[in-house]
Amino acid sequence: MMKKYIMALDQGTTSCRCILYDKQGHQVSLAQKEFKQFYPNEGWVEHDPMEIWSTQIGVAQEALLKIDATYENIDAIGITNQRETTVVWDKNTGEPVYNAIVWQCRRTSEYCDSLKEKGLTDAFRKKTGLLIDPYFSGTKLRWILKNVEGAYERAKSGELLFGTIETWLIWKLTEGSVHVTDYSNASRTMMFNIHTLEWDKEILAELDIPECMLPEAVPSSMIYGESSPRIFGGPIKIAGAAGDQQSALFGQTCFKEGEAKNTYGTGGFMLVNTGETPVESKNGLITTIAWGLDGKVNYALEGSVFVSGATIQWLRDEVKLIENAAQTEEIARSVSDTAGAYIVPAFTGLGAPYWDPYARGAVLGLTRGVNKNHLVRAALESMAYQTYDLMTSMAEDMGHQLNTFKVDGGACANDFLLEFQAGLMNMPLYRPECIETTSLGAAYLAGLATGYWESTDDILSNWQVDCIFYPDMEAEYREELLDGWHKAVKCTFGWAKS
């Protein structure tokens, strides 16, 4: 019998990847390629949607060729993507009217301030689960309509379409016949009512967005359509999509309420599944849709650490204390503590639960004996402290502790970091064998829609633990460390305010 795989398209912020998975969730082929970043103004970030498309298809072809597979070996395609990034294109020609405005782009800051000044914060939060911020797609879409000549009129007359990246890729794969967004991606647009699962008419009116350009919002696991036979030589079902962080939560098999994952990458992203009820945060976390599956919608609370592994890059590239990230583990272990030093890497302000855009980084608690090793250790510990703060916010909002905590991302290779993290959180951490959870989640969502996997139970057995980190820290010591951290964080507040 012919071997069948699931093709996961992982469209990230800096690169496109394609990974083929088998039934056990093992990677059988992988191809990856970076694409160009555009910085046309200070704080602006753009991508070329056509380059994203061609790069994505290029790596998909390459992944197939690498194992001599064809479209016939692929059961379905699942897509995961950088979230919030906004594309507008002509419905008839498929030509984007402007570059994709990337999630990191801050060009709509002032407009977002004006929405806040109008007192709309609560209204937006209640409907969308989000804080008003340039990060989300809505104000980026508005910017394109207001600033690209003729765009608003063309959108109104039904000539233009809007999409986040999964929408754009599905539209291109189906040669323009399917225009959909999955619930998890829709929930990042700041235009989507996460309770009713509809585009919110009041918000659309406020932002002045014609509804006819919006995609149909659909579950994260269903057959959306088939890829055009011209792309892979024959059609392949497109059967799943989810934003990168939600997809990672799914890939980590956090299917039940109270199950959480944290990704230690350049930044840190923590999500906890809150089941079928959206939980409103009192601690500055975001309420988001995790996925729509089997006629149900799962919600999540999300918090992010702006600077996580990037602190280690900073030590390497700017301070030049280390040569590579991996050596930080041995250096941190060479001392028994940080000798009272703390690094607060608030380089770009602080996110949840502090939300201070004016906070700036600081090294505190220095005494004459603090050396390079202590500082390296303090940098790693800062990643754990920030994650701890998100965890306590989540527990407070949910009204109970997390049930399970799974980790992934590049920096989760660091055992010292995870041991310290487990100690701080006073709970075990689980690191899976496959830390490529983002693309795996999209593969699972697609395979569930086609019957490649029968149920989430079928998938659970694929999740294999690599290491469990058990807490091993005295309560009194933990309190002492955390007191010091929170004191240090407070010192950074408001630093950049004039």
- Residue numbers of the site for ligand ADP (CB under 6 A)? 265-266, 309-310, 312-313, 325-326, 328-329, 409-411, 413-414
Q: Which is nearer to ligand ADP, 8 or 69 (CB)?
A: 8
d(CA 498, CA 482): 29
Based on C-alpha coordinates, what's the Rg of the chain?
22
Question: In sequence order, what are the residues at sequence separation of 6 or more whose Cβ sits closer than 8 angstroms to the Cβ of residue 150?
Answer: none
CA atoms within 13 A on the CB side of 116: 11
Closest contact distance (angstroms) between CB of 480 and ligand ADP is 24
* Closest of 486, 354, 360, 478 to residue 426, by C-alpha: 478
Q: Which is nearer to ligand ADP, 266 or 382 (CB)?
A: 266
Q: Which is nearer to ligand ADP, 308 or 404 (CB)?
A: 308
d(CA 116, CA 111): 9
Closest contact distance (angstroms) between CB of 433 and ligand ADP is 16
Closest contact distance (angstroms) between CB of 266 and ligand ADP is 4
Closest contact distance (angstroms) between CB of 318 and ligand ADP is 12
Q: Which is nearer to ligand ADP, 19 or 180 (CB)?
A: 19
d(CA 328, CA 331): 5
Q: Which is nearer to ligand ADP, 74 or 411 (CB)?
A: 411
Q: Which is nearer to ligand ADP, 80 or 281 (CB)?
A: 80
Closest contact distance (angstroms) between CB of 104 and ligand ADP is 12
* Closest of 118, 79, 374, 371 to residue 223, by C-alpha: 79
Q: Which is nearer to ligand ADP, 10 or 133 (CB)?
A: 10
Single-letter code of the amino acid located at 347: F
Give how far the C-alpha of residue 55 lies from the chain's centroid of Cα atoms, to the nearest Å.
20
Q: Which is nearer to ligand ADP, 120 or 413 (CB)?
A: 413
Closest contact distance (angstroms) between CB of 84 and ligand ADP is 16
Q: Quick count: other Cβ atoms within 10 Å of Cβ 468?
A: 11
Using Cβ positions, the residue closest to ligand ADP within the complex turns out to be 410
Closest contact distance (angstroms) between CB of 415 and ligand ADP is 9
Give how far the C-alpha of residue 190 lies from the chain's centroid of Cα atoms, to the nearest Å.
16
Query: b/e string for 316-350 if b means 16 or more Cβ within 10 A?
Result: beeeebbeebeebbebbeebeebbebbbbbbeebb
Closest contact distance (angstroms) between CB of 32 and ligand ADP is 12
DSSP 213: G
